[in-house]
Structure formats: C-alpha cells, structure tokens
Amino acid sequence: MTALEPETRLDARYSDPAATAPPWAETEKRLAEAELFWISTVRPDGRPHVTPLPAVWSGGALHFCTGPEERKARNLAANPHVVLTTGVNLWDRGYDLVYEGEAVRVTDDDRLRELAGAWEAKYGEFWHFEVADGAFHHGPGHAYVFSVAPRTVFGFGKGEPFSQTRWRFG
C-alpha cells in the first residue's frame, strides 16, 4: 500500500448517479492483479511510443523492466514521465486504469532480488531473473528495472454503473 492515501474524486460529469468512487485499496488490488499494461513514453522528437509489457505492484508503485537499448529505455533517458494503462477491451463491462508517474531506475541489488521474486511469483518460471550490477539478467541479455510511484490515477468503470474516478497523490 502507498504511504499516503490519495485525494479521491468521482467525476459526476462522466459517472452514473448511482456510481461511487472505489477505495484506493481496491485500485491497488486491481493494479497488483493486472497481467498486462500498455506503457506510453515520449520519443526525443516528441512523438509518442506505446508498447505492452508485464508489470508488478510492489511497495506502493508499479515496476517494469526493459532492455537498455529498447525504445522505451532510450525515451526514459530523455523524459522519465510515463503513463501505464490496463483494463479490458470492452465498452460495457470491466474496469480500466490509467496510471501516471515518473519512471525511476532501481539499481539496488537487494531490492532487485525482491522484485525478481515478485515477477516470477506473478508470471511464472519464464520470468525468472538473476540480479547483478543493478540490473535483471535473463539468458544472454539484461534489463533495467524502473519504479513508477503514482502521481495521478484514473479509473473508468464500464457498464452499470459507468464511472470515472481520479486519485491524486501529493
């Protein structure tokens, strides 16, 4: 759970009168259970870049990994602001989340070992990583790990009742 509870606001303009804002703890659970996220970064020339990836929720933040030469890693070197989205591709049921924050590289090997364990627990043996020199190692390659603490999160309830909730941190 995050250290601080966010300011929570249900937007009545986009919500059914019967809708209520979910508690942040419920949203954290959704983030922890989501298997696939879409990450949006910004290229140095200002164009957006979007790609799917797995992520784990740990210590009040989302974490993802990427090879240092991949487009998203190169984008983050110039601009650490990211958006991660998850949900379902249905308009009338499910719940979508849009998660905004700043990606900060994790380099502490002890923390990386904890996160490697979280990846394998969530996604299985294929996602087993060794940790050395501030990075994940898998086969012949290595990956940087990034932590994204939430700045603003939007939740979109679909179906009855439709809703839009915003959680804002500090």
Give the CATH number for residue 107.
Answer: 2.30.110.10
Reported pTM: 0.95
Does 120 reside within a domain?
yes
Does 89 reside within a domain?
yes
Residues sharing a CB contact under 8 Å with residue 154, sequence separation 6 or more, in sequence order = 97, 98, 164, 165, 166, 167
Residue 43, helix vs strand vs coil: coil
Does 33 reside within a domain?
yes
Q: Which domain holds residue 89?
A: 7-168
50-101 tens-digit pLDDT: 999 999 999 999 999 999 999 999 999 999 999 999 999 999 999 999 999 9
101-159 tens-digit pLDDT: 999 999 999 999 999 999 999 999 999 999 999 999 998 899 999 999 999 999 999 99
Does 79 reside within a domain?
yes
In the chain, how many domains are there? 1
Instruction: Find tokens 């299985």 and name the residue.
Output: 124
pLDDT of 170 reads: 87
Longest dimension (CA), the chain: 54
What is the identity of the amino acid at 58? S
Does 2 reside within a domain?
no
Does 1 reside within a domain?
no
Does 24 reside within a domain?
yes
Answer yes or no: is pLDDT of 14 > 60: yes
pLDDT of 2 reads: 46
pLDDT of 1 reads: 42
What's the rounded Cα separation, in Å, for the pair 76 and 114?
A: 23
Read off φ and ψ for residue 78, nearest 5 degrees: -95, -30
Look at strands 141-158 and 163-168 and give their pairing: antiparallel
19-45 tens-digit pLDDT: 999 999 999 999 999 999 999 999 999
